[in-house]
Amino acid sequence: MSSVSTGVEPIIEARKLEKFYPQPDGNRIQVIAPTDLAIYPGQIIALLGPSGCGKSTMLRMLTGLSPASSGSVYWHGQPVGGETPNVSIVFQSFALFPWMTVIENVEAPLEARGVAEFERHKRALRIIDAVGLDGFESAYPKELSGGMKQRVGVARALVVEPEVLFMDEPFSALDVLTAETLRGELLELWLGKKIPTRAIFIVTHNIEEAVVLADRIIVLGRNPAHIHAEFTVDMAHPRDHKEPQFVELVDQIYRALTRQDHPEATPAELQGILAAKQKRALMLPHTRPGGMAGLLEILADQGGHADLHVLADELSLEVDALLPTVDTAVLLGLLKLEEGDAIITPDGEAFAKGDIQERKKIFRAAVLANVPLLRQMEQALKAKANRTLPAEFFQDLLDEHFSEDESRRQLETAIQWGRYAELFDYDAASGKLTLTEI
């Protein structure tokens, strides 16, 4: 990385950092491809990427919270693991202790570090004042709005005077105006040098948030996560959404985010990416066939071709909200993505124009060809004389691959798709799946 070219020592440096999750079949899913990344003092870095691409996993490894599967993280040139680095993390979910008051929440990390009561109290009051929580010291989290809760989250993170402040989608649970206010306040603390923090690393899926805040924006690609593009933001603060330079940068980043091919990869890397992609096809985007049908109809109406950004605008959606539906259509071979444009395939066109029976036929063929889980479910049901299995059977299989929540959502999605494809029927009362005989 470029410690040579900048002449500045990075605070944190990741070299060939990778993350795998083991699979029951002895294979492993690669979530993060070998990645080099450095955090330099004086910068706000934004890590941008679609949901599920590996941003939080990367953040946890950089903080030392989660071990790397391969590669290393260095803090001031020393491998993490020995001494715990001085970092703190602000989470999207606020993660406050509900039984503690505001000031007790803010003091908690100091108490954990053995700071004496008087000193603890003094430092907590100072930071509470700085983040605009003055007067709320003895309130409980449940009495606070989302914005005030996250101010507590920020205060609690800053009270330990972290060298690097990590934030994982800190504003995405807040309404738009509150999020904007809190971003402004964060910038004020940072630019006004009111905090000793030397770098901020913020994970987000919001392009505009990244451009408002960051000096450097790293765009992650997925399957497995890798650095897809990097942007330097050379604009004075405060940055105005309407400035041409702002709009142009958002557009460039947007194109980088949606580009699905990997023109920069060597043939060997591409092989690895494709292999990982096939494994990750195990994972279903959480969408309903009806939603995808709507998207394909709109596209067919527009001549089979549209800019995703424009399409999202027309639907008053954030691009991010549209992506799972787009992913579903791409996974099923009904849509292609090229440079941020969605292009309907001949199957997609036939689907959009077909009646319900034709749609089901196309959908059925598409899931059997492209979705290993549904193929597996069909085969398992076929293997039973009575063509029936409890849904729990599949839940257990999925539990091996995913967290409990995720495996439940995977199964719900698979059941919705399978019913629409008329592969099987699901009886919610008995929790049983029965193969549809055709």
Q: Which residues bind ligand ADP (CB under 6 A)?
A: 21, 31, 49, 51-57, 403, 406
Q: In angstroms, give the least distance from the CB of 91 to ligand ADP.
A: 11
Regarding 150 and contact with Mg ion (CB under 5 A), the answer is no
Give the nearer residue to ligand ADP in terms of CB position, either 107 or 208.
Answer: 208
Give the nearer residue to ligand ADP in terms of CB position, either 174 or 220.
Answer: 220
Q: Per-residue string for binding with Mg ion, 47-66, x by CB under 5 A? A: ---------x----------
Beta bridge partners of 78: 75
Token duo for residue 23: 């699979």
CA distance 204 to 196: 23
Which position has the token pair 């309903």?
A: 288
Give the nearer residue to ligand ADP in terms of CB position, either 57 or 105.
Answer: 57
CA distance 424 to 407: 19
Give the nearer residue to ligand ADP in terms of CB position, either 55 or 309.
Answer: 55
Answer yes or no: are the C-beta atoms of 48 and 426 closer than 8 Å. Answer: no
Give the nearer residue to ligand ADP in terms of CB position, either 54 or 418.
Answer: 54
CA distance 124 to 111: 11
Q: In angstroms, give the least distance from the CB of 145 to ligand ADP.
A: 25
CA distance 106 to 150: 12
Contacted entry of ligand ADP, Mg ion, none for residue 49, CB cut-off 5 to 8 Å set by kind: ligand ADP
Answer yes or no: are the C-beta atoms of 435 and 389 closer than 8 Å. Answer: no
CA distance 353 to 324: 22
Give the nearer residue to Mg ion in terms of CB position, either 43 or 56.
Answer: 56
Contacted entry of Mg ion, ligand ADP, none for residue 31, CB cut-off 5 to 8 Å set by kind: ligand ADP
Answer yes or no: are the C-beta atoms of 171 and 212 closer than 8 Å. Answer: no
Give the nearer residue to Mg ion in terms of CB position, either 33 or 131.
Answer: 33
- By beta carbon distance, the residue nearest Mg ion is 56
Contacted entry of ligand ADP, Mg ion, none for residue 340, CB cut-off 5 to 8 Å set by kind: none
Q: In angstroms, give the least distance from the CB of 203 to ligand ADP.
A: 7
Contacted entry of Mg ion, ligand ADP, none for residue 325, CB cut-off 5 to 8 Å set by kind: none
Contacted entry of Mg ion, ligand ADP, none for residue 57, CB cut-off 5 to 8 Å set by kind: ligand ADP
Give the nearer residue to ligand ADP in terms of CB position, either 20 or 190.
Answer: 20
Give the nearer residue to ligand ADP in terms of CB position, either 107 or 209.
Answer: 209
Contacted entry of Mg ion, ligand ADP, none for residue 97, CB cut-off 5 to 8 Å set by kind: none
Q: In angstroms, give the least distance from the CB of 26 to ligand ADP.
A: 15
Q: In angstroms, give the least distance from the CB of 54 to ligand ADP.
A: 4
Q: In angstroms, give the least distance from the CB of 206 to Mg ion.
A: 12
Q: In angstroms, give the least distance from the CB of 402 to ligand ADP.
A: 6
Q: In angstroms, give the least distance from the CB of 324 to ligand ADP.
A: 12
Contacted entry of ligand ADP, Mg ion, none for residue 145, CB cut-off 5 to 8 Å set by kind: none
CA distance 298 to 306: 9
Binding site for Mg ion (CB under 5 A): 56
